[in-house]
Amino acid sequence: MGLQLQQLKNFSPRKGPLLLIIMDGIGFGKPYEGNAVYKAKTPTLDTLFQAKLFTTLQAHGTAVGLPSDDDMGNSEVGHNALGAGRVFAQGAKRVNQAIADGSIFTTQIWKELVGNVLKNNATIHFIGLLSDGNVHSHIEHLIALLHQSVREGITKARVHALLDGRDVPEKSALTYIDRIEKVLAELSQSYGVDYCIASGGGRMVTTMDRYFADWSIVKRGWDAHVLGKGRLFTSAREAVETYYAENPKITDQYLPSFVIARNGVPCGTIEDGDSVVFYNFRGDRAIELTMAFELDNFTGFDRERRPKVVYAGMMQYDGDLLLPTKFLVQPPAIDRTVSEYLCAAGVRSFAISETQKYGHVTYFWNGNRSGYIDESLETYVEIPSDKIQFDKAPKMKAYEITEKTIELLRSGKYQWGRLNFANGDMVGHTGVMEAAIEAVETVDACVARLLEEVKKLKGIAIVTADHGNADEMFIEKNGKREVKTSHTLNPVPFTIVDYQYNNEYRIRALDKRGLSNVAATLLNLLGFEKPEEYDPSLIEFM
């Protein structure tokens, strides 16, 4: 089957370009005091949400390939669905299946990890996010790996626990620490093994950087996990309680790194002959530590020493760079993306965002594929993000993205383009209501500016989001207000702004509308029929 698109017989594209605006983290939630989208002054969005060509889309759960509709969406699976035009089983679901049927433990990679430890009388290390947020990882996956390690006869295991507070409540680290400590103690006592937590730290300052924004974050993780360098504690609970006491305002994602010691000596440095598993299934915040373990010509920071280990990821985090080279669960093979179809049709496009979401409008949009599909037809623009906590600068780079997008639109070179405003998500994750409101207001102003330009150029704009976040900044629990930093289960807005609209089409009546329906809609508005395998378009022609 080729990648040929058929022209629509009853609709021709507009004279101007088609612009897809993705407002990351701006969901369509209930009107209440904790909804920053509702509380913000958003004259543009208010108008769009009342427009004739408006609907909402499901952006979580089964609509984006996750196990159940209790699972929140995220930017990675969201952009996969937007760009792929149909739904693929995603990370958590694939790992769940592999653990449930035991196939994860029959792979040659798992056998190599185990065999290496047994041969060298060494240690197996598990590094990853310790929570049940199900966005980057799940604690149940770690527990399954630990139980299998015991069954395989491994006597020494170490957990390097990255603390969440972002996809789960902001100060919930002790809940997960206590749970995994109980598992480790039970295994150690029942089987006479030595299993314990060895190091950790908050995800936003330890190990889990992304898009090469700040290598010092990865270095802190390397120092703690590999070298055993950092502030020493007798337990992970003691570390968290100490940091809470020293700074009552601090939240889990920003807790400093820590090292667990026995008799003043780090208990779990990573040494030659060990095996290491990064048990996160999502790639964006796992790739940099993977590079530190695997690349000979690594330049991110001074590693001081690089232990000779067998290293594996839960999944392959970059299919083009082939990193890691060893992984336990195959990622979804996403082919025939909308950009592949449009490049095959000779359609010129651009993609733009700031560093924090640049990979989403390129790599994830293109089906987990690095680089250009056709560099002669595509332009990718990355605006460098500031290295600062996002509540301190909630405007982020939205205005810079807007001005560069206008420049690209005015060039006349491109028939369509896509952009991502990161504000609603990245500022929403901080849990700071005032900053989230400013973030949403910034996006509203930038969308207005872009719509003005699209109107001048006689084009079409689509305004949507990949998941919610800023639409729920706190929840009421047991009569108390609890800050919410995670994504939401709310639908996301979808509006078509067509300044030459003459009732040629309307929003299609579908039993279920999700992000995967957007690709076919884009193709329709560019004058093409959708490919047979794509989910239905959100519009139907009259």
Q: What is the pLDDT of residues 126-166, one digit of tens each?
A: 999 999 999 899 999 999 999 999 999 999 999 999 999 99
β-partners of residue 128 are: 161
pLDDT top residue among 37 and 284: 37
| pTM of the complete model beyond 0.85 | no
Tokens 């996160």 belong to 280
For the chain, give the percent of residues with pLDDT over 70: 99
- C-alpha 542/C-alpha 539 separation (Å) is 10
**What pLDDT is stored for residue 357 in this prediction?**
96
Q: Could you report the per-residue pLDDT of 457-500, keeping only the tens digit for each?
A: 999 999 999 999 999 999 887 888 989 998 999 999 999 999 99
319 pLDDT above the threshold of 80: no
pLDDT score recorded for residue 476:
85
SS3 of 448, please?
helix
Query: How far is Cα 507 from Cα 52, in angstroms, rounded to an integer?
Result: 8
Per-residue pLDDT tens digits for 499-514: 999 999 999 999 999 9
Contact yes or no for 497/48 (Cβ under 8 A): yes
Q: Are 173 and 240 in contact (CB under 8 A)?
A: yes
Task: For residue range 413-444, list pLDDT tens digits in order.
Answer: 999 999 999 999 999 999 999 999 999 999 99
Pairing of the two strands 265-266 and 54-57: unpaired
Burial 205-236 (b: 16+ CB within 10 A, else e): bbbbbbbebbbebbbbbbbbbbbbbbebbeeb
CATH class entry, domain 18-89+334-541: alpha beta
* Structure tokens that stand for 160 in this block: 């390097």
Q: What is the pLDDT of residue 415?
A: 98
Q: How many residues does the chain have?
A: 542
Cβ–Cβ under 8 Å, residues 409 and 453 = yes
Residue 1's pLDDT band (boundaries 50, 70, 90)? low
Spans of all domains in the chain: 18-89+334-541, 92-329
The answer, yes or no, to whether residue 331 has pLDDT greater than 80, is no
**pLDDT value of position 2:** 83
Has residue 330 got a pLDDT over 90?
A: no
Residues 464 and 495: beta-carbon distance below 8 Å: yes
Q: Is the peptide bond before 324 cis (omega within 30 degrees of 0)?
A: yes
pLDDT above 90 covers a percentage of the chain that reads 91
* Residue at 212: amino acid letter: F
Burial 177-189 (b: 16+ CB within 10 A, else e): beebbebbeebbe
Burial state string for 68-82 with b = 16 or more CB within 10 A and e = fewer than 16:
eeebbbbbbbbbbbb
User: What integer is the mean pLDDT of 42-59?
Assistant: 98
* Catalytic positions, written as ranges: 75
Alpha carbons 211 and 79: distance in angstroms, whole number: 16
* Cα-based angle 155, 157, 161 (whole degrees, multiple of 5): 165
pLDDT digits (tens, 9 = 90+) for 354-392: 999 999 999 999 998 989 999 999 999 999 999 899 999
In angstroms, rounded to a whole number, what is the distance separating the alpha carbons of residues 535 and 542?
Answer: 19
Find where tokens 């958003």 sit. Answer: 42
Higher pLDDT, 166 or 321: 166
- Would you identify the CATH topology of the domain 92-329? 3.40.1450
AA letter at 491: P
pLDDT at 320 over 70: no
Fold identical between 18-89+334-541 and 92-329? no
Three-class DSSP category at 196? strand
pLDDT in tens, 181-223: 999 999 999 999 999 999 999 999 999 998 789 999 999 999 9
333 contacts: CB under 8 Å, gap ≥ 6: none
Mean of per-residue pLDDT scores for the chain: 96
- Computed on alpha carbons and rounded to an integer, the radius of gyration of the chain in Å comes to 24
